[in-house]
Structure 1
Amino acid sequence: MENAGVFLLLLLMPSLHSAEETPIACPPDTSTVLRELSVALAEQKVKLGQLQAENQVQAGELLTLKASSTITENKVEALTQARTVSQVAFSAALVESGEQTLGPHDAETTIVYKHVASNIGNAYNPQTGFFIAPVRGVYHFEIYTLTHGGSTAESYLKKNGVGIFMAHESQSSGHGTAGNAVTLLLEQRDVVQVTLPAKCQLYDNTHHHNTFSGHLLFTM
């Protein structure tokens, strides 16, 4: 019996030894998994922040480029406009053809100079007799007047309806001539016109004795 027991024990020993050498798998630690996930999430947040920062920089650069482009376009437009409005000059006479006697009238009237020799910038209107300043600046104007038959030669240059300078000549017979000139600071849309005072008379023909001229000296 003792020999049989020993023999049985010898048979079981390899199985016991094998069981001791085989490792048993353990489930992962939950805290370890959470820690790894937290690290991965933090890395992703850092990368996302970097991408957002790069996008903001690119967006800022784009806005800067757009603003610079707009400023350049505005400068080009302003320079083009300034060059255009700085070219202002006109000269006009009373009649286009034949001869004409203007006046006398019971009230002061605007003289409409219909024969336009030049009108650079189109600031003078031959339909109304008004010169309208297209830009703020210093302008120079000249007026010349002729009458005959012993009448008074007289014309009145006005700014926005207010008299500035008058051309006047009075003589008992023959033709009378008068002239005057003035330099004015005008605001944009200021109106300059020449009027014929009441009871006065002008005479003109194809030689264009009655004239109204002006030009822009420089902008302000």
Structure 2
Amino acid sequence: MKALVCILLLLETFVFVVQQQVDGGLNENEISQQISSEDGRQNPPQTDTLRAEASTDRQQYCDLGIPDIHAALRELTATVTEQKEKNRELTATVTEQKENIRALETQLRDEMNKKNEEISNITLSQVELRKENRDREIAFSAALWESGDGYIGPFTTEITLTYKNVFTNIGNAYNPITGIFTAPLKGAYMFRISAYGHGGTAAGVSIYKNEERVVLAYAYQPQNTLNSSNGVVLILKVGDVVSVRLWPNARIYDSQYNRSTFSGYLLFPLK
């Protein structure tokens, strides 16, 4: 604003001088004399003094105002430049922090996914292991009579015995209605039988794998009690059956003491 005022004052003076030259064709000396005479006529002596002081004030005003504006502009420009630089640095810092945050989020997400996958795998492994262990939990044991006592036999042909007094049937592979054990998985199985009777008639039973006789428990004497037992380890495939058959013309006895039994269990699975 100060600069504009100074410029206007200078222009006013310049226009006045040019106008005088155009109107009267006066030279510089004449112009100066005319101005002096006119000033002498129109203005008292103190007017020259005031005019000189005003001119001096205008010059000082201009001299003081213009450098102040330039200095202020330079200072403002420097401040804006500095602020822009700071803004650029701040923007770069913010961008870097955002990148760091994104990288950290990605790392955390990957680690969480990895942990979740590991937990899922562990859980699946535990479930499969529990299932496998349940599949391996195969064992049974049973005696002939659920209650009371008595003989079975003799018969002229072999018959499959049904051991109805079930003590244990883990895995439900033994059927007390048919007396047949069915292998639920391939493996090595241990089976045992015991036969009890009285003298005069033989006490004999056999373990069968499918339709093949494997082992026999047999005893005979004219009098007194008879006891016989046997056992065998069999390799069974899924679906193989094991049963106990009474020998022809033999008989066995059982009571609440459970003397005639059939038992079996899985030793270990096979691939």
- TM-score normalized by the length of structure 2: 0.53
1:199-218, Cα deviation, whole Å (9 max, x unpaired): 11111111010000111111
Alpha-carbon deviation of 1:81?
A: 2.9
CA drift of 1:196 comes to 0.2
Q: Which of these residues, 78, 85, 93, is aligned with residue 143 of structure 2?
A: 93
2:160 alignment partner, one of 64, 85, 110: 110
Structure 1 letter corresponding to 2:157: A
Tell me the CA shift for residue 198 of structure 1. 1.2
* Structure 2 equivalent of residue 214 of structure 1: 264
Aligned residues: 153
Supply the AA of the counterpart residue of 1:182.
Answer: V
Structure 1 stretches of at least 4 aligned residues deviating more than 2 Å after TM superposition:
71-81
Which has the larger helix fraction? 2
Q: Output the CA distance in 2 between the equivalents of 1:174 and 1:128.
A: 31
| CA offset digits 1:28-85 (Å, max 9, x no partner) | xxxxxxxxxxxxxxxxxxxxxxxxxxxxxxxxxxxxxxxx99x959766643431111
Is residue 226 of structure 2 the alignment partner of residue 184 of structure 1?
Answer: no
Structure 1 gaps of 5+ residues are 1-67
CA distance in 1 between partners of 2:190 and 2:224 (Å): 31
Distance (whole Å) between structure 1 residues aligned to residue 155 and residue 236 of structure 2? 30
- If asked which structure has higher relative contact order (CA below 8 Å, sep 6+), I would say 1
Partner AA of 2:172 in structure 1: N
With the length of structure 1 as denominator, give the TM-score of the two structures: 0.65
RMSD: 2.0
Return the letter of the residue paired with 1:103. G
Q: Aligned residue for 1:150?
A: 200
Larger Rg: 2
Pair 1:141 & 2:191 matched: yes
Percentage of pairs with the same residue: 39
> Where does residue 125 of structure 1 map in the other structure?
175
Aligned pair partner of 2:255 in 197, 205, 208: 205
Matched residue type, 2:217:
A
